[in-house]
Structure 1
Amino acid sequence: MSCKPDLPQKVTYIDLFSGCGGLSLGLGNAGWHGIFAVEKDPMAFSTFKHNLIDGKHAHFDWPEWLPKEATTIQNLLEKYPEQLTALRGKVDLIAGGPPCQGFSLAGRRNAKDPRNKLSDEYIKMVEIVSPKYLLFENVRGFNASFKVPEGKKVKKPHSMIVKAKLEKLGYKVFTDFLCSADFGVPQKRTRFIMIGVKYDLIDQNFENPFEFLPHSRRDFLIRKKLPLKPVKVSDAIGDLLVETNGLIHHSGSDESGFKQLDYKSPSKPSKYLRVMRRGVGKSKPNSLRLARHKTSTIEKFSKIQKICRPGVSLSDQMRLEIGTKKQAITVLNADEPSKTLTTLPDDLLHYCEPRILTVREMARIQSFPDNFDILGKYTTGGVRRTQECPRYTQVGNAVPPLLGEALGLLLHKFHTE
Structure 2
Amino acid sequence: MTTLKKLKFCDVFAGCGGLSLGLLEAGHEGIFAIEKSPLAFETLRFNLIEGATHQFAWPDWLPKQAMTCEDLLSNYPEKISELKGQIDLIVGGPPCQGFSTAGRRDPADPRNKMTEQYLSLVGLLQPRFLAIENVAGFNMRFEGTGGVAEELASAGKTSYAKFVAGKLEALDYHVYPGLVNCADFGVPQTRHRYLMICEKKGSFPKHSSLLQMLHENRHAFLSSKGLQAGHHVTTREAISDLEVEGKRLIPNQDSGISGFLEVEYIPPTAPTPFQKLMRKGSKNSAPNSRRLARHKVETKEYFKHIQSICRPGYSLSESERQLVGTKKHATTVLDRTRPAPTITTLPDDILHYSEPRILTVRENARLQSFPDWFAFQGKYTTGGKQRKLECPRYTQVGNAVPPLVGEAIGELLAERMSEIQSYSVLQEVADQNNYYLEEATSM
Q: How many residues align?
A: 406
Deviations 1:159-211 (A, max 9, x none): 1111111111111111010111001100000100001111115425x221122
> In the TM superposition, what is the alpha-carbon distance from 1:51 to its structure 2 partner?
0.2
Q: Residue 135 of structure 1 is aligned with which of 128, 131, 135?
A: 131
Correspondence 1:297-308 to 2 at 5 A: 297-308=299-310
- What TM-score do you get using the length of structure 2 for normalisation? 0.89
Q: Write out the 4+ residue segments of structure 1 that deviate beyond 3 Å after TM superposition.
A: 152-155
- Aligned amino acid, residue 303 of structure 1: H
Alpha-carbon separation, structure 2, partners of 1:148 and 1:76? 32
User: Which residue does the alignment assign to 1:23?
Assistant: 19
1:90 to 1:201, Cα distance in 2 relative to 1, 3 A: farther
Aligned residue for 1:332? Answer: 334
The one-letter code of the counterpart of 2:215 is P
The match for 1:71 is 67
Whole-angstrom distance in 1 between the partners of 2:269 and 2:3:
34
Q: State the Cα deviation string for residues 294-325 of structure 1 (Å, max 9, x = none).
A: 11111110000000010011011111121111
Distance 2:394 2:349 in 1: 12
How big is the shift at 1:281?
1.9
Aligned residue for 1:244, secondary structure, equals coil
Question: Which position in structure 2 is the counterpart of 1:392?
Answer: 394
1:219 paired residue number: 220
Which of 265, 268, 284 is 1:263 aligned to? 265
SS at match of 2:261: strand
In 2, the alpha carbon distance for the partners of 1:9 and 1:109 equals 40
- Map of 1:34 onto structure 2: 30
Deviation of residue 24 (structure 1)? 0.2
Residues 129, 186 of structure 1: alpha-carbon distance in 2 compared, 3 angstrom cutoff? same
Give the match's secondary structure for 1:192: strand
- Match in the other structure for 2:428: none
1:348-387, aligned counterparts within 5 Å? 348-387=350-389
- Structure number with bigger Rg: 2
TM-score (norm 1): 0.94
* 2:98 is aligned with 1:102: yes
Aligned residue number for residue 110 of structure 2: 114
Q: Is the 8 A contact 1:251 1:257 kept in 2?
A: no
Distance in 2 between the 1:196 and 1:318 partners? 44
Output one character per residue of 1:146-168: Cα deviation in whole Å (capped at 9) or x when no partner: 2338xx99952111111111111
The answer on whether the counterparts of 1:22 and 1:368 sit within 8 Å (CA) in structure 2 is yes
User: Root-mean-square deviation (CA), in Å?
Assistant: 1.7
* Among 35, 52, 55, the residue aligned to 1:56: 52
Structure 1: gaps of 5 or more residues: 1-5
Q: CA deviation at 1:54?
A: 1.4
Paired AA for residue 224 in structure 1: K
Contact preservation (8 Å) 2:4, 2:414: no
- Alignment check: 8 A CA contact 2:6 2:414 kept: no
Higher mean displacement: 15-24 or 215-224: 215-224
Q: Is residue 86 from structure 1 mapped to residue 88 from structure 2 by the alignment? A: no
Kindly state the Cα deviation for residue 214 of structure 1 after the two structures are TM-superposed: 2.7
Q: Which amino acid is 1:395 matched to?
A: V
Please say which of residues 351-360 and 83-92 is displaced more in the overlay: 83-92
In the alignment, which of 191, 194, 215 is matched to residue 192 of structure 1? 194
CA–CA separation in structure 2 for the residues paired with 1:7 and 1:186:
34
Partner deviation per Cα, 1:270-297 (whole Å, 9 max, x = no partner): 0000000012122100000011111111
- Map of 1:145-224 to 2, 5 A cutoff? 145-148=141-144, 155=153, 156-200=158-202, 202-203=204-205, 206-224=207-225
Q: Distance in 1 between matches of 2:327 and 2:9?
A: 44
Whether the 8 Å contact between 2:4 and 2:417 is mirrored in structure 1 is no
1:12/1:93 contact within 8 Å kept: yes
Shift of 1:37: 0.2
Range with bigger deviation, 86-95 or 37-46: 86-95
Post-superposition CA distance 1:3-56 (Å, at most 9, x none): xxx973222001000000000000001111011000000000000000001113
CA distance in 2, matches of 1:133, 1:57: 25
In the alignment, the residues of structure 1 paired with residue 78 and residue 214 of structure 2 have an alpha-carbon distance, to the nearest angstrom, of: 38
Q: Deviations over 1:88-134 (max 9, x none)?
A: 12210000100101111123322222111110010000001111111
